[in-house]
Amino acid sequence: MEPVINNRYVLNEQLVQLPGDVTVWRGTDLSLRREAVLYVSPLKSGAGGLAYIGSRAHLSGRHFLHILDAGVQAPHLFVVLENAGGKPLLHMLHSHPFSPKELLAMLLQLGQSMLSAAEEHNIHFAVTAENIWCSHIDGLKVMNHWSEGEVSRRGAGGLCMLLHQLLTRSEPLPAWTGEERTASALSGAAGLTPRESREIAWLLRPWEDGKAALAAFVRELDVVHRRLYGGQEENKELPRIVLPREHMEPRWEEAPAEEMEAEQPERERGRIEIPKGMLWFGIPLACIIAVVGLMLMLSFSPWRGNKEAGSKPPASVAAQEQQKPSPTPAPKESPPPRNETTGQTAIVETPDLNGLPRAEAEKAALAAGLRYEYVLETNPAAAEGTVFRQDPAAHTKVDKGTRVKFWVSRGK
């Protein structure tokens, strides 16, 4: 492979050599002056070709390396991916620092992101260690999400094997037969308690391909995680896993170390430290002063004589109360727009928002000439972030400017 692609991308360091003459590089985008990750593979047509990659470029989710560019430099096809920090999982698989609790949380995050992607696309990519990037912030991210992987390495089966690779810190994939579930599958895993081995071994079994099996695996993984380490609050995301410093790579945007050290004394000079002894002495003293001040205010209050004599408040106080302005009435909504030619209110049809992501539903409502409001509500039957109900219903004739309300799913 040439060291410079299309006179724009420089290949600086080969990170991974994969089967099928596939290589992953750390490179530089000369045009935008930033680092990037380049995935280089033999040129082919059909699924996995340049046209197919273009259709997958909008795959969303923070657990996929986003596609920034793609092209051909014969006889190779290259895909430019975001530089998410970190490194390929294969670089740290044998010595990663993660505990079983962190591994289950990271895998659960990846599985949930795959489920969300499966709502809009057919996902057939591999998710075993050779196709995973370990990011500084977002944990596990899929590198190649446009090519079809082996059936056993994708979906629920791929996540199951990835879990085994992470726990045993080994690349070879297990060969399970039948529906056998035994803790012996984790015999090579270090740091597992007997209870963790029993619970996790339940997941290590053959899984079918498809969305239903993926949903079942994620659900069982969530149950095991909650049973072992306690549940998360409803509708709260699992915590992000941050890599230790020794596994981080420098980013293009980071300031030089000399500048960081030069700023440190300035911050130190602006810091004021209060001795602990002053705090113990100052807090009670402040309370005493506050109590004495309150007692003096009450003793000299002009109301005291009025209350004892049974008289009304001073006239000046009453006059001030009468001069208080009345509350300003709330502004009313402007009436629906009228047709300038006929003078009648314009009639429009409500769009069908059900199944749309929230952002697209907002655009559809505005494009139809309607106002909108939405409500977030838990709905396990609908994909997270999509509309599952609206009022008025789709294709209803309403005045232009009418407010349409829709409900957006929070997921499970």
Tens digit of pLDDT for each residue in 232-264?
A: 543 344 444 444 444 444 444 444 444 444 444
Same fold, 4-81 and 347-409: no
Q: What is the CATH number of domain 347-409?
A: 3.30.10.20
Residue 63 and residue 237: Cα distance in Å, rounded? 14
Average pLDDT over residues 182-190: 60
Residue 56 and residue 78: Cα distance in Å, rounded? 14
Split at pLDDT 50, 70, 90, the class of 304 is very low
Residue 61 and residue 55: Cα distance in Å, rounded? 16
CATH of range 4-81; options 3.40.50.720, 3.30.390.50, 3.30.200.20, 3.30.420.130? 3.30.200.20
Given CATH 1.10.510.10, say whether it is the number of domain 87-247: yes
The whole-chain average pLDDT of the chain stands at 76
The pLDDT, as a whole number, for residue 110 is 94
Q: What is the pLDDT of residues 129-152, one digit of tens each?
A: 999 999 877 889 999 888 888 888
Pairing of strands 371-377, 403-409: parallel
Is the model more confident about 350 or about 171? 350
398 near 355, Cβ under 8 Å? Answer: no
The residues facing 399 across adjacent strands are 347
Residue 166 and residue 264: Cα distance in Å, rounded? 39
Question: How many CA within 13 A on the CB side of residue 249?
Answer: 19
Residue 208 and residue 190: Cα distance in Å, rounded? 28
Residue 279 has pLDDT above 70, yes or no: no
The pLDDT, as a whole number, for residue 387 is 93
Residue 412 and residue 155: Cα distance in Å, rounded? 20
Domain boundaries, the chain: 4-81, 87-247, 347-409
Split at pLDDT 50, 70, 90, the class of 318 is very low
* Amino acid occupying residue 291: V
Is the model more confident about 386 or about 59? 386
